[in-house]
Structure 1
Amino acid sequence: MVKQKKRVKLIYKCLFLTTGAVLAAIGLEIFLVPNNIVDGGINGISIIFSYLTKFPLGAFIFTFNLPFLVFGYSQIGKSFVISTLYAITVLSVGVSILHPIHGLTQDPLLATVFGGIILGIGVGLVIRYGGSLDGTEIVAIIFSKKTAFSVGEIVMFFNLFILSSAGIVFGWDRAMYSLIAYFIAFKVIDLTIEGLDESKSVIIVSDKQDEIAEVLMARLGRGVTYLEGRGGYTKQSKGVLYVVVTRLELSKLKSIIDEIDEEAFVTIQDVHEVLGGRFKKQAIH
């Protein structure tokens, strides 16, 4: 039974890695590349080299990413590197198959917007299911542990260099379109990874915690966790509640708290992912 579950999980993972890589290939070869608009990272370098040498883009994507995968194998983890290798292989094959198609549009703005969206969805799916389509992220993760720079800062440095190179090769108008495509893809990647159904974690400090907890469970159908707290100034015990709700339920939660205790102290934070518990339970109206 355990082996069967692992096998199903692996098939499920491969399916989404494949889907993500194919979508990324479509975003590149059907929209961006025919209009001389580049992506960031290794894919961007590959597009420039393919344009200058007339060699297949897929060959450059695979070849340029391979050293980074070897470099990161012992540093990051076997599972991540294998998933990344698989996704990059699918991407390389995908762009090679799609290359004879000469794009769906010659309008650079349309190509930028739709290419960025499709590429972002593809990259987001691959990241969400444990892989990557860009070897520079591996280097960034490794170097961020040894330097004062964050992963985002290192990746941004790479991409500034690549987009500057694109300006020299394709012209500065295409470099600016590339920057727009990169920004769109970046935002869509976040949406794909985190999902559109945003969740919020709420901490409530109130002397009426029992009453608030009962109403929240009854009217929202959400599990509530009691935490122990103590006032820093008064040193007195405080009732603290922790609850996770969807973005659409947040307004109702605020009104419930306001009805019961106007003096309650409430903090609200974004939640990227929720697993287990009663969170998937339908709200009670």
Structure 2
Amino acid sequence: MPKKQNKIVAYIKKYLLLFIGAIITSIGLEIFLVPNNIIDGGIIGISIMLSHITQLPLSFFIVVLNIPFLYLGYMQIGKTFTISTLFSVLSLAYWVAFFLPIPSVTQDLFLAAVFGGITIGVGVGIIIRYGGSLDGTEIVAIIFDKRTSFSVGEIIMFMNLFILGSAGLVFGWDKAMYSLVAYYIAFKVIDIVIEGLDESKAVLIVSDNPDEIADALMARLGRGVTVLHGEGGYTGEPKKVLYSVVTRLEVAKLKLIVQEKDENAFVTINEVHDVMGGRVKKKAIH
């Protein structure tokens, strides 16, 4: 019974956050970008231009243009993703219509692009983090990624450059350039929301003093250390390889600890996009 309750709570939390993400995104659109004829990338950007040309509601195009991509997502990615995306798209359409009568808080195009990009980045980042999407071009990119040599990011970038370039023909080239600013800011903020401000780093340490380093890391950083058993490629001697995950701010302290224990230690540090479980509770750093 507790497991079932936990599953229900997680389910409710997920859709609540998808709903909140849609509200935040709609604020960025209707309070900053749309009134100033600045667009975002993807389906939302196309919807803004079509709404301007036809004078039909933006919410109408957001839903209609995403329908074929939702079908593709269902066929190629899965039901759970499609349901989360449909919920996010319908929520966005509702709140875009809700905020439509509210005037823009600024007529300064640069401020609109900056704060619109930040707001949209936060909203979209929340939605992506919890398994949804607002942009059918992402689905297309995932499908083409499996069939071409281009990555998902490269495909999305190409499509968005075309869409943002089209804004120059509809709204003028100055608005297109401000749209590019808004898109870039949103792109960066999405990364921050998905990965978190407290970015984690995975560390591998090969040393002749592995036990001393492991003890020091646990005592002075309060981080768990996993011992992996390797072998020297040249000598064939067994080696203990230490693996740990630390925050970005702890990397300098970790390097100092390793150098104190073994100046010749080999250390590699890589970015970690998400960490789940297994972390030792943080202790005070001495």
TM-score (norm 1): 0.97
Alignment-derived partner of residue 153 in structure 1: 154
1:213 corresponding residue in structure 2: 214
Unaligned segments of structure 2, at least 5 residues = none
- More displaced, 76-85 or 211-220? 211-220
DSSP-derived class of the 1:240 partner: strand
How many residues are matched?
285
2:232 corresponds to 1:231: yes
- Cα RMSD of the aligned pairs, angstroms, is 1.1
Q: Which residue of 2 aligns with 1:270?
A: 271
Provide the residue aligned with 2:115 in structure 1. 114
What is the match of residue 204 of structure 1? 205
How big is each residue's C-alpha offset from its partner over 1:111-152, in whole Å with a ceiling of 9 and x where there is no partner? 000000000000000000000010111111111111222111
Distance 1:125 1:155, change over 3 A: same
One-letter code aligned to 1:31: F
Q: Is contact 1:244–1:279 with CA below 8 Å preserved after alignment?
A: no
Equivalences for 1:28-39 in 2 at 5 Å?
A: 28-39=29-40
In 2: Cα distance, 1:222 partner to 1:283 partner: 11
The alpha-carbon distance between structure 1 residues 280 and 119, as it changes in their structure 2 partners (threshold 3 A), is farther
Q: 1:186-197 alignment to 2 at 5 Å?
A: 186-197=187-198
Describe how 1:129-208 pairs up with structure 2 within 5 A.
129-208=130-209
**Secondary structure at 2:127's aligned position in 1?**
helix
**Bigger mean CA offset, 271-280 vs 191-200:** 271-280
Q: Which runs of 5+ in 1 are unaligned?
A: none
Indicate if the aligned counterparts of 1:206 and 1:261 stay in contact, CA closer than 8 A.
yes
Quote the offset at 1:47 in angstroms.
0.3
Moved more, 191-200 or 65-74: 65-74
**Whole-angstrom distance in 1 between the partners of 2:198 and 2:97:** 35
TM-score (norm: length of structure 2): 0.97
Return the alpha-carbon distance in structure 1 between the equivalents of residues 211 and 72 of structure 2: 54
**Deviation at 1:163?**
1.2
Report sequence identity in percent. 66
Moved more, 158-167 or 38-47: 158-167
Does the 8 Å CA contact 2:113/2:179 hold for their aligned counterparts? Answer: yes
Q: CA deviation at 1:259?
A: 0.9
- Does residue 1:5 correspond to 2:6, yes or no? yes
The aligned residue for residue 56 of structure 2 is 55
Partner of 1:128: 129
Q: Aligned partners of 2:284 and 2:87: how far apart in 1?
A: 40
Query: Contact 1:49–1:60 (CA<8 Å) still a contact in 2?
Result: yes
Q: How far is 1:278 from its partner?
A: 2.6
* Contact 2:221–2:282 (8 Å) recurs in 1: no
Which runs of 4 or more aligned residues in structure 1 lie more than 2 Å from their structure 2 counterparts after TM superposition?
A: 278-285
How far is 1:249 from its partner?
1.7
Between the aligned partners of 2:157 and 2:194, the Cα distance in structure 1 is: 19
Separation (CA, whole Å) in 1 of partners of 2:197 and 2:162: 32
